[in-house]
């Protein structure tokens, strides 16, 4: 018997196998694999006094050795290890770093490359091992037509070998395009390369720095502007990868180098109009990704329909550091209010089934997180979890489910490829009903015309034009069978602190010897 809030042995083993694939084949020299000399140079160049080292859980075994080495090489800097990230390990955990007052973060392992706003970051992906000959052989097996347009994407851990790997293919494949990583920085990327911002990139230096600062110190690598890396006007950036295409994206096939996981799934669903093939260097297996996308898109369309029929929505803050998260939450609040849906903003940290089960009054959740953390396996949860893009589709009649799909909420904000003014989204006749595939009945896309009464209750005009009364959230909580932990303030007698048990579980000191 397996409860809803536990995992069976098979699932635990599956997760362990996945972690083993993520760990990869480390070189014996950790200093070389993690580029510790580059880390030390970055710390010295920035004159940092407190640096936080962020590791995913499966890399924490190397954290002690890395922290010790960096502490010995940088006596003036205190090194801290972030053992458990607040949200997804692929994102930079600025919240945890700010708890210790860190002025710099070194992020180890896989990264989603979403932009941060407050603290300088150095990304160390790890120099993963790959067999170039087997990779090239797999590529030629998958793509026999040498004139076809091919876009090469890869896991960030293989970025150190991609250029030399693709150079061997360019002679035969003339329409080969290799993506480059769009590493987010607080300036132009000088602290990633070790260059001096004041000497090499005057465009990124603020006027105060140009007049008063000619040093290589911390201020020179964290200017006030956040322009990012300069790009050609034809260059496109999506999911942390930049590329320049010579033909429409629909004519391209994608070749992905890396293991199966969230990064690959995210690329497949965002580029679902393209044929996608993958090669796993750790197993030397390659395949065509075809059935996955059809099943996933069908599932996402069903969830979007659930969101359209929802009356009460929970906005889950799945990040407190990614750039633009406040803006997208405000946009969702305005959008939901305009179509008559009630909403609550919830901050729960890392999501799990037990946490969200505490809010059974919600009909659907919309998760604000990085692109790789947005696609949740909703079958585990009691209520659906959708992305901001899917919620926007659910609230709009003018926008249809089409060829484009976005997991990055930045695309919905001003300047994004799918940005649309809220007045245009909600400019519709909400009295015209439409058929719901979920309920099997005709309903208005506007959940209700909501007004607040004197008694503090919610009153709406239903589809039958009858007034229906809905209690507030506080009254709903009052009649729930379980209301959470009760503090019992003022009811618990105050007592002095006493010494507790000591010793080990096999024999505490207060227990008699046997």
SS3 assignment for 38-88: HHHHHHHHHCCCEEEEECCHHHHHHHHHHHHHHHHHCCCCEEEEECCCCCC
pLDDT of res. 66? 95
Cα(326)–Cα(112) distance, integer angstroms: 19
- Say whether pLDDT at 23 is over 70: no
For residue 322 the two structure tokens come to: 């990614």
Average pLDDT over residues 3-28: 46
Which residue has better confidence, 220 or 148?
148
Q: Which long-range contacts (CB under 8 A, 24 or more apart) does 438-443 make?
A: 438/305, 438/306, 438/308, 438/309, 439/309, 443/309
- Say whether pLDDT at 28 is over 60: no
Domain 19-124 carries which CATH code?
3.40.50.11840
Which residue has better confidence, 141 or 193?
141
- Say whether pLDDT at 117 is over 80: no
- Say whether pLDDT at 187 is over 50: no
Record: fold of 309-429: Rossmann fold (3.40.50)
- Across 347-412, where does the E strand assignment appear? 364-368, 385-386
pLDDT of res. 73? 93
- The length of the chain in residues reads 514
Average pLDDT over residues 207-235: 37
Cα(339)–Cα(310) distance, integer angstroms: 11
Give the three-class secondary structure for 175. Answer: coil
Q: Do domains 19-124 and 309-429 have the same CATH topology?
A: yes
Question: By the 8 A CB rule, do 176 and 150 touch?
Answer: yes
Q: Please, what is the average pLDDT of the chain?
A: 77
pTM of the model: 0.74
Which one, of 434, 406, 430, 431, lies nearest residue 418 by Cα? Answer: 406
In this prediction, residue 292 has a pLDDT band, given cuts at 50, 70 and 90, of low
Mean pLDDT lowest among 27-31, 200-204, 410-414: 200-204
pLDDT of res. 78? 95
Which one, of 240, 218, 226, 228, lies nearest residue 104 by Cα? Answer: 218
In this prediction, residue 237 has a pLDDT band, given cuts at 50, 70 and 90, of confident
| CATH class of residue range 132-184+228-289 | alpha beta
pLDDT of res. 204? 40
Cα(141)–Cα(286) distance, integer angstroms: 9
- Say whether pLDDT at 410 is over 70: yes
pLDDT of res. 416? 74
Burial of 320 (0-12, 13-18, 19+ CB in 10 A): middle
Mean pLDDT lowest among 57-61, 218-222, 278-282, 436-440: 218-222
For the chain, the domains span 19-124, 132-184+228-289, 190-221, 309-429
- Say whether pLDDT at 19 is over 70: no
pLDDT of res. 242? 92
Which one, of 284, 270, 374, 359, lies nearest residue 328 by Cα? Answer: 374
pLDDT of res. 494? 84
CA 228 to each of CA 24, 82, 105, 185, 188: distance values in angstroms, whole numbers, following the listed order: 31, 26, 18, 6, 5
Cα(134)–Cα(337) distance, integer angstroms: 55
The CA R_g of the chain, rounded to the nearest whole Å, is 26
Which one, of 33, 60, 164, 56, lies nearest residue 111 by Cα? Answer: 56
Cα(52)–Cα(102) distance, integer angstroms: 6
pLDDT of res. 473? 62
Share of the chain above pLDDT 70, in %: 70
């Amino acid at each position: 018997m397996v409860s809803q809030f536990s995992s069976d042995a098979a699932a635990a083993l599956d997760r362990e196998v996945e972690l083993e694939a993520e760990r990869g084949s480390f070189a014996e020299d950790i200093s070389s694999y993690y580029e510790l000399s580059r880390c030390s140079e970055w710390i010295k160049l920035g004159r940092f006094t407190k640096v936080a080292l962020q590791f995913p859980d499966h890399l924490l075994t190397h954290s002690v050795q890395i922290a010790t080495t960096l502490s010995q090489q940088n006596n003036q800097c205190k090194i801290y290890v972030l053992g458990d990230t607040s949200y997804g390990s692929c994102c930079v955990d600025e919240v945890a770093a700010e708890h210790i007052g860190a002025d710099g973060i070194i992020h180890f392992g896989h990264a989603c490359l979403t932009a941060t706003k407050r603290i300088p970051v150095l990304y160390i992906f790890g120099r993963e091992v790959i067999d170039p000959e087997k990779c090239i052989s797999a590529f030629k097996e998958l793509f026999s037509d040498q004139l076809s347009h091919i876009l090469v994407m890869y896991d960030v851990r293989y970025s150190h070998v991609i250029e030399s790997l693709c150079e061997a293919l360019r002679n035969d494949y003339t329409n080969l395009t290799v993506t480059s990583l769009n590493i987010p920085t607080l300036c132009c990327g000088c602290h990633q390369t070790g260059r001096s911002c004041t000497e090499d990139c005057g465009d990124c230096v603020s006027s105060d720095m140009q007049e008063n600062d000619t040093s290589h110190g911390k201020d020179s690598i964290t200017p006030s502007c956040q322009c990012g890396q300069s790009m050609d006007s034809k260059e496109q950036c999506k999911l942390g990868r930049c590329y320049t295409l010579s033909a429409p994206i629909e004519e391209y096939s994608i070749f992905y180098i890396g293991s199966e996981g969230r990064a690959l799934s995210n690329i497949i669903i965002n580029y679902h109009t393209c044929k996608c093939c993958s090669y796993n260097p750790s197993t030397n297996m390659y395949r065509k990704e075809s059935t996955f996308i059809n099943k996933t898109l069908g599932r996402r369309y069903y969830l979007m329909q659930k969101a359209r029929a929802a009356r009460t929505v929970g906005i889950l803050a799945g990040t407190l550091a990614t750039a633009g998260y406040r803006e997208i939450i405000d946009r969702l609040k305005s959008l939901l209010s305009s179509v008559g849906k009630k909403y609550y903003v919830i901050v729960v940290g890392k999501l799990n089934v037990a946490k969200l089960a505490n809010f059974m009054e919600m009909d659907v959740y919309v998760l604000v997180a990085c692109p790789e953390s947005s696609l949740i396996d909703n079958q585990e949860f009691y209520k659906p979890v959708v992305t901001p893009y899917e919620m926007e589709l659910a609230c709009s009649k003018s926008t249809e489910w089409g060829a484009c799909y976005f997991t990055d909420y930045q695309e919905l904000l001003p300047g994004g490829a799918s940005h649309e003014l809220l007045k245009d989204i909600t400019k519709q006749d909400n009295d015209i009903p439409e058929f719901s595939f979920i309920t099997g009945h005709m309903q208005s896309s506007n959940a209700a015309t909501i007004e607040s009464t004197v008694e503090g209750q919610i009153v709406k005009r239903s589809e039958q034009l009858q007034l229906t009364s809905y209690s507030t959230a506080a009254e709903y909580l009052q009649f729930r069978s379980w209301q959470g932990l009760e503090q019992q303030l003022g009811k618990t007698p105050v007592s002095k602190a006493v010494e507790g048990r000591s010793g080990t579980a096999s024999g505490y000191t207060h227990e008699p010897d046997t």
